[in-house]
Every structure is written in C-alpha cells, then in structure tokens.
Amino acid sequence: MIVREAVLTMIIQAIVVVVVVFSCFAGLTVVERKLLGRFQARRGPNRAGPFGLLQPLADIGKLTFKEDFIPAGANRWVFRLAPMIPVIAAVAALALIPFGGVHDWAGHTVTFYGTDLGVGVLALLALSSLGFYGLILGGWSSGNKYSLLGAARNAAQMVSYEVAMGLSLVGVVMISGSLSLVDIAGDQCEGLWYILVQPVAFVVFMIAAFAETNRTPFDLGEAESELIAGYNLEYGSVKFAMFMAAEYVAMIVISAFAATMFLGGPDGPWLPGFIWLGIKITVLLFLFIWVRATLPRFRYDRLMKFGWKVLIPIATLNIVVTAIVLGLGFSG
C-alpha cells in the first residue's frame, strides 16, 4: 500500500511538472516577443486573441499543419530521434530542482521535488549536457553541410562553456559540503544566499548558462548570416517545434538551477517556497530576454577565446580563493 501511494504520488508530481513547464514554455514565447517588441519600440504579437495571448496556440496550429519531410540524404532514425533528446533531458532535469521542502497534506507526505540525489549537481549538469547531443545529432543526421557546421559549433561551444559552468559551481559545493541540491538550498535557507559569498561564480555561471542554452549572444550554432539556420535547417513541423520547446524549457531549468545554487532556492519570507522560486526564475528569464535584445552575436573565434581564456581562468581563480578562505576558517 505504501509503495502504491509513493508511485501514485510520483506520477502525479510528474504530470503536474510537465503540464506547468509546458504551459510556462508557451507563455514564455509570448512574453519574450512582447518584451522584444517593447525593447525595439514596437508592439509584438497582438492579433491572436486579446493582447496576443493566444499566439502560442496559433504557432502550434501553424507548425502542426506544416509539411513534415525528411531529406533524401538524412539518417532517418537519428533525424527523428534528435529533437526528442533535448526535450526529454530538460524535463528530466526538473525532477532534481527543489521547489520546496516536505509537507503533510491530508495525511500524506508530499515532497516539492522529484528526487534528492546525493550527486544532484553532477546529475543536473549531465542532463544539461545530454540535451546538446540532440542538437549535434540533428545537425549531423540532416545530411546538410550547413547543419553539420552548426552541429560542430555546438559541440565545440559545449566543451568550452561546460568546463566554465562546472568550475563556477565548485566554490558553492565547497562551502555547502554537499552535491545535493536539496542540501544546498537548505543551507541557504539557514544562512546567507551563496550569491553574496560567490558573486564571481554567479556571473561566470550565468554567462556559461547563455552558451549552454544556445541563446544570444552565444547562438553560433544557428547563425542565420553564416549557416542559414544551422543545426535545425532541415527540420520543420513538429520536429522544429520540439527543438524550440527544448530551448525554452532549458532556459527555465537553468534559471531554476541558478536560483537553487546562488539565490536561496525556495527561501523567502511570508510566501510559500515554490512561489519564491518562481519569482527568482522569472527574474532570471527576464535577464535572458534582456540580453537577447541588447547584445549582438559574438564572432565565433572570440566566443571560443572568451570561454577558454577568460571564463575558465576566472572560475579557477575563484576556486583557489574560496579554498584559501575556507582554509583560514571562514565560511558562508
């Protein structure tokens, strides 16, 4: 009976997370286009529904009824599989994010997180890396040289910025003494948020997060002026929509990850924890959109030099300084 209740609880949690995340993804597309319109002194979408709020439904309908084809030179099985990988990886990563603690509702114990892994930080980084394989395989399997070049750029970009992202988190792990996201969030609820003791790490993490989610100014894998559309050039209809969904869900996941590691996770006064985490995620998503509206795309060689010659040394130096401070007996 206990096992059955636990399984039923996990299924309900999974359904709620998927529904909420994909609803947020749909809303985020409208919010981004509205904000970009304001940044650029125009209105943004305003035809589909009141204030353009039904624009996601219009986009889904348009993409669903578009022709879905597979190029003659493509690897058909990999071409079909590639768009699913980043979506599955992004949704799976949400199971590791603590949206709150443990609560008793109607005699049942409910946890506001999917699972508490002792190596949660490493698992989330692994799932984040896994999503990139969908982009790489999508470009390779298309049988198009421009798509292949976009996939190669994504691979090189992933290697360089994954290192910086991982190093930026080492300082937080050293202070917390745990790789569990639940423990890290709990430590901040009882003390200082880690952004106050690791501000350099937070900046490095966020810069690497833009590259990790393939967002402007690091969207070199789909540079229209050079690669036409890059890794997703040959995709249309629902497969193209899945790549777009993966990008926005990845933005939500990486924002939730940053909020958990540096901004106290669900910590906050008066309001429930999941609302506080939602507010922090919203602020970080606004930062993603703001940067897209402000900064131009980097030149590719400068992108790589910035990752290897700037971010990685800064992240490494931050680890050394953190180790010295902790060795001298100070802590966050």
Exposed e or buried b per residue across 38-58, where buried means at least 16 C-beta atoms within 10 angstroms of its C-beta:
eeeeeebbeebeeebebbbee
Exposed e or buried b per residue across 258-284, where buried means at least 16 C-beta atoms within 10 angstroms of its C-beta:
bbbbbbbbbbbeeeebeebbbebbbeb
DSSP state string for 159-218:
HHHHHHHHHHHHHHHHHHT---HHHHHHHHHHS--HHHH-HHHHHHHHHHHHHHTT-TTS
Residues in the chain: 332
pTM, to two decimals: 0.87
Grouped pLDDT means (10 residues each) for the chain, 332 residues: 60 72 79 87 82 81 80 82 86 82 60 75 86 83 81 81 90 88 85 89 92 81 68 79 84 91 85 86 92 84 86 93 83 52
pLDDT value for 321 = 92
pLDDT value for 58 = 83
Question: How crowded is residue 61: how many other Cβ atoms within 10 Å of its Cβ?
Answer: 12
Distance CA 174, CA 256 (A): 20
pLDDT value for 101 = 63
pLDDT value for 102 = 62
Count H helices, E strands: the chain? 14, 2
pLDDT value for 104 = 60
pLDDT value for 188 = 85
The phi and psi torsions of 47 (rounded to 5 degrees) equal -100, -40
pLDDT value for 244 = 82
Q: Where are the domains of the chain?
A: 2-327
pLDDT value for 168 = 92
